[in-house]
Structure 1
Amino acid sequence: MIDLAKLRAVPPFADLSDEQLRWLGEHLTEVDVKAGAVLAREGETKPVFFVVLEGECQATKFSGATQIPTNRFIAPSFFGGVSLLAGTPSPGTVAAATDGHLALLPERAFKELIVASEAFSRSIFRSSLDRLTALEASVRNREKLAALGTLAAGLAHELNNPSAAVARTADCAVETLAMLKDAAVALSHSAIPPDAMSALDSLGVRKGPGNGPAADALQQSEAEDALLDWLAKLGIARPWLMAPCLARIGIRPADLEPLAARLNEEQFAAGIRWLAATLELRSLVEETRRGAVRISEIVKAMKSYSYMDQAPQQAVDLHDGIEDTLTIMHHRLKQGVTVRREYDRSLPQLVVYGSELNQVWTNLIDNAIDAMEGKGEIVIRTGRDANDAVIEITDNGPGIAPEVMPHLFEPFFTTKPLGQGTGLGLDISYQTVVQRHGGEIRVDSRPGHTTFQVRLPLAPRGEASK
């Protein structure tokens, strides 16, 4: 029989009577475990209360795809009470950190002891609350760090494209500038008439970017081939270098035929080289400008999203926060998600914790993308209902199962596979909207239509009726 002195050393059993302790000993099963043995696995049901008499056990929990340590149970200690009390699967995985000696109490005996001993039940409830609070705080902080890492990776990806484009076009601009210099020298030696020079210049302006209908890839390729063949027949050297930039802005052989008829071969060749180099340089400068503007937009959105260098609570336009969030999440949306905006711009500014609300929009939009498996439509709608600002985020995914709905905002509840979700995104959103801002968050779901509705008071609840 188990040593009752060892049992009394375990905190929940310290105040049991001798009779209760003997009863407990009769219902316990002793086991020896080797280091590394898994005693309870996250997400699985284990109807046993574990008592650590010798050795040490390590608890871990998935956060994203990473297992993080959450607790250590060093003898004399215990674990497993949370799952038995709540009737839920194990919130984490527990494995033996060293060789050890444990005692197992079946669920039925555990619950009998809860009813029979007030001291035992008080100890179990207190320790369970403390452990759940510590676990939630630990995983919540980890979740925020993981979200920050994902956000940083997305931003790096978004910044990489325009910054790479700027670097690439800058290199090309150096080469094109050298070509333009050579073309200008050849142009000066050809003694091209001033009126022909003006015609070339005006052709570049008249046919410039945005001055004509956009051609699709096939039409563009055909136009380049036609112009390349025409220039080659006229004896123009390396026409493949000039045809693409001329065709890109809509210049066709018919536009150049009047000049070709007026100028000799040397003059026309010099003029075409100069025009092509000028247009190419203009195109490169415009591409560089677009890349720089995109970088500026991303940096501006990030500063607004995080409310960098600003007070935590201030009057904000909700639409600005939503748009900043969409900009930051562009890397997730561009793979197949369209966003339709139905904004009521008459909504007044709200005094809120802007960066925390932006995290709510991030969580809801991220969940919508996951629900649609990266392809579908998200509708973001804002409006006013009495004294509340109403924000709705709707996706056309498969919907939420009825049995899942009551558990949506419970901490650690997730329908995602193990390692892909911590179940804290909606919990954090609920805490932010309801407890932090005195609002409400509601859900309506059916196949093809799931709406998360966030209601925020336009004024603090105490002032709304004044």
Structure 2
Amino acid sequence: MTGPAGGAEGPAGREVPSPAGPTDRDAPRPGDATGAVDRPTVADLRTLFLFESLDDGQLDWLADHSRVEQRDAGTAVYTEGEPATCLYVLLDGTVTMTRRVRGDEVEVIRTGQRGVYGGATQAYLGDQVPQVYINSLRAVDDATFLVLPAETFAHAVRSWFPMAMHLLEGLFVGMRQTEVRVGERERLLALGALSAGLTHELNNPAGAAVRATSVLREHVAGIRHELATIADGRLDGDALHRLVALQEEVVRRVADASTLSPLAVSDAEDALTDWLDEHDVATGWELAPTLVAAGVDPEWLGRVEAAVGPGNLASALRWLTHTVDTELLLREIDEAVTRISGLVGAAKQYSQLDRAPYQVVDVHELLDATLVMLRAKIPPGVRLVREYDLALPPVPAYAAELNQVWTNLIVNALDAMGDTGTLTVRTGRDGDSLVVTVGDTGPGIPADVRPRIFEPFFTTKPVGEGTGLGLDISYRIVVRKHHGDIRVDSAPGSTTFRVLLPLTGPTADG
């Protein structure tokens, strides 16, 4: 309930200047009542903290335009989501107020304090907000209420408290407009940061592909030159066929070559260089590194000599070395292009631009796409740990908006840790909910701050570094749009945000 028992203080008892109250024709009369109906007295109204500062004329007008109703124990006074038609002020009895959370009725407060109120508490804002009940009220035992029609309550507030009305409207509308504009600005800044990170990530493989292509051109020219030298009549057809077979074999060796330690590579290069020097192959030290990368050993070089003869060994080995270099460069280009394709795919997965807003998705794909987009923001000293439950089924969701949630949580975790720490992204199942956990090893969230972290515009960052909307937006996406939940556990060295999503998903209309 609203009022002292519900955490919102009523008007103070000081005298307030009161303009003349509206006449009977200025506001609608109460409609048909439900239950026993009676007209309240001015004396009764004066005992309620909500009206204690009104003058006799205003109290008399309220008494004439309101009614007293009774509700039996266990009956509903009003229900969440229905049109808000009346303001209810408790005169006697006990009531319970509930909110609907993921299909369950959660009790917010239970009170018997006289004067607490609920119902059409925003009627004075008119069509600036949806005029529906934002909670449900039920009589625990027999209860009596003062009932004001929403139009009556709204008319009284606007007429008797014009200054307060302007302040309330300014606060409400101003906050909403500020939230929208700051939210748009935050999304643009986030988009700019992600674009910069994506550009940086694309630059590395793109640059590698360009460099590899340039070097490849030189080696292809070298292959043509050495082939002309070999095929100038010095080799017969059988020897040339044997050399081509060795070329095919060395290409397969490149694909199957194992990775050696630096010390093993150095020893292998020394062995090949010694063999080449012993067989009068000039600049053998230049050929050795490439041949080692292909897994070639002195025994295989002996096979080449046997195939082409000592006089053609140098030209044959240079031709084979150019072949190995070409194959290595093609692999490098393939890896770079694959990396670029993966980044573009991650960007498409993250933005969901070519997909329906509401779809069945694999949360692991969304998480991986987000981590790819944020890779440039992860410092070298931060270790990333993924712990995915791959048995989880896909869930119906608004994928692009969930990616925004992952972004907000991961960026907050990185900001908390600074340059060192461990970022843990984990998935699992909790009953009928899919759970995504984002944890960090930062200093933690102070206990006095924790209850406010999901409030709009609340931030612990320095002025100008945070808008305080990231967690608020995440809360609205998870709780209001997906009918899930978002929770936080924090202690020094360990902060964990848990996002719970129903496996059945929200309805398609959100």
Contact 1:336 1:375 in 2 (8 A): yes
Contact 2:367 2:403 in 1 (8 A): yes
Distance in 1 of aligned mates of 2:450 and 2:256:
51
SS at match of 2:254: coil
SS at match of 1:346: coil
Q: CA deviation at 1:436?
A: 1.5
2:225 to 177, 182, 186: 182
1:451 is the counterpart of 2:451: no
Distance in 1 of aligned mates of 2:270 and 2:230:
26
1:369 to 384, 406, 414: 414
User: Quick one: which amino acid aligns to residue 342 of structure 2?
Assistant: E
Moved more, 300-309 or 200-209: 200-209
1:382 is the counterpart of 2:427: yes
Distance in 1 of aligned mates of 2:506 and 2:316:
73
Give the number of equivalent residue pairs: 350
Q: CA deviation at 1:452?
A: 0.6
Counterpart residue number, 2:198: 155
1:394 is the counterpart of 2:439: yes
Contact 1:340 1:377 in 2 (8 A): yes
2:250 to 204, 216, 219: 204
1:172 is the counterpart of 2:215: yes
Moved more, 248-257 or 319-328: 248-257
- CA displacement 1:392-448 (0-9 Å, x = unmatched): 122233322222212211222222233332222111111111112111100011223
Residue segments in structure 2 that go unaligned for 5+ positions in a row: 1-15, 20-159
Moved more, 384-393 or 189-198: 189-198
Distance in 2 of aligned mates of 1:352 and 1:389:
12
SS at match of 2:219: helix
* Change in CA separation of 1:263 and 1:219 when aligned onto 2, cut-off 3 Å: same
Distance in 2 of aligned mates of 1:147 and 1:334:
18
* Change in CA separation of 1:211 and 1:163 when aligned onto 2, cut-off 3 Å: same
> What TM-score does the superposition give when structure 1 sets the normalisation length?
0.68
SS at match of 2:422: strand
Distance in 2 of aligned mates of 1:181 and 1:462:
65
Higher relative contact order (CA 8 A, sep 6+): 1
User: Quick one: which amino acid aligns to residue 191 of structure 2?
Assistant: L
Q: CA deviation at 1:316?
A: 1.5
Contact 2:254 2:328 in 1 (8 A): no
Q: CA deviation at 1:143?
A: 0.3
After TM superposition, what 4+ stretches of structure 1 lie above 6 angstroms from structure 2?
15-18
* Change in CA separation of 1:125 and 1:383 when aligned onto 2, cut-off 3 Å: same
Counterpart residue number, 1:105: none
Identity of aligned residues (%): 42
Moved more, 183-192 or 429-438: 183-192
- CA displacement 1:247-279 (0-9 Å, x = unmatched): 223324454245457865431101110110000
The structure number with the bigger radius of gyration is 2
SS at match of 1:381: strand
- CA displacement 1:312-371 (0-9 Å, x = unmatched): 112222222112212222223473433333323333322211100011111111222222
Contact 2:208 2:333 in 1 (8 A): yes
Residue segments in structure 1 that go unaligned for 5+ positions in a row: 1-14, 19-116
Contact 1:322 1:358 in 2 (8 A): yes
1:137 is the counterpart of 2:183: no
Counterpart residue number, 1:293: 338
> What TM-score does the superposition give when structure 2 sets the normalisation length?
0.62
1:407 is the counterpart of 2:407: no
2:365 to 310, 313, 320: 320
Kindly report which structure 2 residues correspond to 1:31-430, keeping only aligned pairs within 5 A, or say none: 118-189=161-232, 190-191=234-235, 193=239, 197=243, 200-201=246-247, 204-205=250-251, 207-212=253-258, 214-221=259-266, 223-228=268-273, 230-257=275-302, 259-260=304-305, 264-333=309-378, 335-430=380-475
SS at match of 2:428: strand
Distance in 2 of aligned mates of 1:258 and 1:418:
73
SS at match of 1:456: strand
Contact 2:251 2:324 in 1 (8 A): no
